[in-house]
Chain A
Amino acid sequence: MSAATNAAAAVQIVGARKSFGDRQVLKGIDLSVPTGTVTVILGPSGSGKSTLLRAINHLEKLSAGYVAVGGELVGVRLAGDRLKELPEKEILRQRARIGFVFQNFNLFPHLTVLDNIVEAPVATGLLPKSAARERARELLAQVGLSSKADAFPKQLSGGQQQRVAIARALALDPHLILFDEPTSALDPELVGEVLAVIRRLADSGRTLVVVTHEIGFAREVADHVVFLDDGEIVEQGPPGVVLVSPRHARTRDFLSRVL
Chain B
Amino acid sequence: MTTTSLSPRATESAETEVQVPPEAAARRVQGLRHPWQWVATAVVLILALNFGQTLFTNPAWAWDRVGHWFASPAILAGLVLTLEATAISAVVSFAGGVIVALARQSRNRVLSGSAWLYIWVFRSLPLILVLLFLYNLGNLYPEIGIGVPFGPQLEVRTTNVLTDLTLGVIGLSLSEIAYASEVVRAGLLAVDRGQHEAANALGIPRYRQFTRIVLPQALRSIVPAYVNQIIGLIKSSSLLFYVSLLDLFGVVQNLQSTYPTDIIPLFVVATIWYLILTGAIAIVQHYVERFYNRGLKGSR
- Give the B-binding residues of A (Cβ under 8 A): 57, 59, 88-89, 92-98, 100, 102, 104, 106-112, 119-120, 123-124, 152-157, 168-169, 172
Contacts and interface: CB of A to CB of B under 8 A. Distances in A.
Given A110-B296, A154-B295, A89 B205 contact: yes
Contacts of B298: 154-155
A105 to B, nearest CB: 8
B109 to A, nearest CB: 19
B300 A96 contact: no
Interface string B264-300: 0000000000000000000000000000101111111
Contacts of B14: none
Contact of A95 (B192, B202, B216, B300): B202
Nearest to A108: B213
B208 interface: yes
B295 A153 contact: yes
Nearest to A157: B300
A157 B299 CA distance: 11
A70 to B, nearest CB: 15
A110 B216 contact: yes
B202 A102 contact: no
A57 B199 CA distance: 13
23 contacts: A57-B201, A88-B206, A92-B204, A93-B203, A94-B203, A102-B197, A102-B198, A102-B201, A106-B195, A106-B198, A108-B195, A108-B217, A110-B292, A120-B202, A120-B204, A152-B294, A152-B295, A153-B295, A154-B297, A154-B299, A155-B295, A155-B298, A155-B300
B153 interface: no
Nearest to B207: A123
B203 A120 contact: yes
A92 B196 CA distance: 12
Contacts, number: 87
Interface string B52-83: 00000000000000000000000000000000
B288 to A, nearest CB: 14
Interface string B160-196: 0000000000000000000000000000000010110
Contacts of B213: 108, 119
B212 interface: yes
Nearest to A94: B203
A97 B203 CA distance: 8
Contacts of A152: 294-296
B202 A96 contact: yes
Interface residues of B, number: 25
Report the 3 A-B pairs with minimum CB-CB distance, sorted nearest first. A96-B203, A152-B295, A154-B298
B197 A106 contact: yes
B254 interface: no
A111 B201 contact: no
B294 A124 contact: no
Contact of A92 (B197, B205, B300): B205
Contacts of B139: none
Contacts of A169: 202
Contacts of A57: 201
A111 B295 contact: yes
B209 to A, nearest CB: 8
Contact of A59 (B201, B217, B296): B201
Given A106-B198, A108-B213, A109-B217, A123 B296 contact: no
B202 A172 contact: yes
A104 B195 CA distance: 10
B200 interface: yes
Contact of A100 (B201, B205, B217): B201
A168 B202 contact: yes
A108 B209 CA distance: 11
A209 to B, nearest CB: 14
Nearest to A171: B202
B216 A124 contact: no
Given A110-B294, A119-B212, A95 B194 contact: no
Contacts of B198: 102, 106-108
A218 to B, nearest CB: 23
A219 B216 CA distance: 43
A109 B200 CA distance: 16
Contacts of B208: 123
Contacts of A108: 195, 198, 213, 217
A95 B295 contact: no
A161 to B, nearest CB: 11
Nearest to A154: B298
Given A106-B194, A106-B197, A110-B216, A154 B296 contact: yes
B12 to A, nearest CB: 34
